[in-house]
């Protein structure tokens, strides 16, 4: 196996999450100071691709923490479709590379409406930084590959730490409650290295069956739905075949009709009342396709070499950091076996050609690290 940048970044994720949490007060200081005395009654988080999925992954935690509504939208949906605003609204624009023009448009719309704005990016000279009131950096380092991995969880935990520290400052939550959340986060992070190893071994077992796939579906539910979308995107970006992701209930309502013997399905079977229904779904769909791959904890699951059965922490707020890993590993290793370098986008100049990003020559430079 070639040690690509992408695989290195997957393995580095637990370290960067630990770093962001331990350095949270410094990282979030400007954000907390700026908004400490401002009334925030609702939050929009806008971003595209992985940034959008990261906001979905953070949403449940943020709403439980703050007891206010958090909306996650694509920037164009926010800038073009949203018409009615509460003036005590915070709009957080997220772009890991920082050069997304649609996120710029969304932040500009928010400012024109008189709303509070924050830019969040890994890029210290991000374009979006100039279109917001305040800036917070995602301290994951520059990922020198098109398909981002550690940035997904890194963005999620950065959003969580920003609002956690602000909630502490405002007295919305106490130290004991935050310490409990942090302990739960660390339990998940500690488990991630084992999941990376087990996921890599699982890929080795299934790769001969998986590599011919031309159509892949990812299904899941509850707090793991963000991983469904992100995992589908990662595999699509690198394997470059047809991949779609669905909430499991949405899958029940029509998508199942499209399953044929050449359909490959990944089921994110996290702990939930839907887990039993997922097993039942596999039983039903096995009549139509033999390519069924379950990802979940082993409790209640019969052993099957096609399944990635690992002892996930199963935390309802934070296990999305775990459940994305098997799909990231596939997105990294499968293209290599297909003769594709997963670090390099199909067309590194695509965003410049279509006008979706301003290339800066750094966050769009893809070179293998030595």
Render pLDDT for 25-56 as a digit per residue (tens, 0 to 9): 999 999 999 999 999 999 999 999 999 999 99
Q: Name the DSSP class of 39.
A: -
> CA 25 → CA 21, 163, 283, 333, 365, distances in Å?
8, 11, 49, 36, 31
- pTM equals 0.94
What percent of the chain is modeled with pLDDT above 90? Answer: 89
Among 175, 146, 165, CA closest to 234: 146
Asked if residue 360 belongs to a domain, the reply is no
Asked if residue 343 belongs to a domain, the reply is no
Going by their DSSP bridges, the two strands 134-137 and 89-94 should be labelled as unpaired
My answer on whether 22 and 107 are in the same domain is yes
Residue whose entry in the numeric block shows the structure tokens 């997963």: 342
Asked if residue 363 belongs to a domain, the reply is no
My answer on whether 169 and 199 are in the same domain is no
Question: Which residues on adjacent β-strands are paired with residue 121?
Answer: 137
pLDDT tens, residue order, the chain (370 aa): 556 899 999 999 999 999 999 999 999 999 999 999 999 999 999 999 999 999 999 999 999 999 999 999 999 999 999 998 999 999 999 999 989 999 999 999 999 999 999 999 999 999 999 999 999 999 999 998 889 999 999 999 999 999 999 999 999 999 999 999 999 999 999 999 999 999 999 999 999 999 999 999 999 999 999 999 999 999 999 999 999 999 999 999 999 999 999 999 999 999 999 999 999 999 999 999 999 999 999 998 998 999 999 999 999 999 999 999 999 999 999 999 999 988 888 777 777 787 777 767 666 666 544 4
Asked if residue 307 belongs to a domain, the reply is yes
Question: Which residues on adjacent β-strands are paired with residue 243?
Answer: 216
| 123, 145, 173 - which closes a domain | 173
Query: What range does the domain containing 15 cover?
Result: 5-173
My answer on whether 167 and 204 are in the same domain is no
């Amino acid at each position: 196996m070639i040690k690509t940048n992408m695989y290195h970044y997957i393995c580095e994720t637990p370290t960067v999450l630990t770093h962001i949490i331990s350095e949270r007060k410094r990282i979030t200081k400007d954000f907390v100071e700026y908004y400490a005395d401002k009334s925030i009654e609702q939050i929009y988080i806008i971003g595209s691709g992985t940034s959008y999925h990261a906001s979905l992954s953070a949403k449940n935690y943020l709403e439980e923490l703050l007891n206010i509504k958090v909306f996650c939208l694509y920037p164009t949906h926010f800038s073009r479709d949203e018409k009615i605003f509460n003036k005590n609204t915070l709009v957080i624009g997220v772009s890991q590379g920082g050069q997304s023009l649609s996120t710029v448009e969304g932040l500009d719309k928010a400012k024109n409406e008189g709303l509070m704005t924050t830019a969040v990016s890994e890029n210290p000279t991000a374009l979006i930084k100039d279109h917001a009131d305040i800036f917070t950096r995602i301290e994951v380092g520059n990922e020198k590959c098109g398909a981002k991995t550690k940035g997904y969880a890194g963005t999620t935990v950065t959003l969580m730490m920003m609002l956690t520290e602000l909630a502490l400052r405002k007295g919305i939550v106490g130290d004991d409650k935050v310490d409990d959340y942090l302990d739960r986060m660390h339990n998940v992070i500690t488990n991630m290295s084992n999941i990376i190893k087990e996921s890599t071994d699982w890929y080795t077992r299934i790769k001969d069956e998986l590599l011919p796939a031309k159509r892949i579906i990812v299904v899941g539910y509850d707090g793991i739905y963000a991983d469904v979308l992100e995992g589908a995107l990662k595999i699509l970006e690198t394997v470059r075949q047809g991949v779609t992701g669905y909430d499991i209930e949405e899958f029940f309502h029509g998508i199942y009709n499209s399953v044929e013997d050449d359909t490959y399905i990944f089921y994110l079977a996290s702990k939930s009342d839907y887990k039993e229904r997922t097993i039942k779904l596999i039983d039903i769909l096995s009549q139509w396709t033999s390519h069924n791959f379950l990802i979940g904890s082993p409790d209640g699951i019969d052993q099957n070499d096609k399944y990635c059965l690992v002892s996930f922490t199963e935390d309802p707020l934070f296990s999305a950091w775990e459940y994305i890993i098997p799909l990231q590993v596939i997105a990294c290793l499968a293209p290599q076996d297909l003769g594709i370098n997963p670090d390099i986008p199909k067309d590194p100049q695509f965003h410049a050609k279509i006008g979706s990003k301003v290339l800066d020559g750094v966050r769009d430079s893809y070179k293998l690290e030595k």
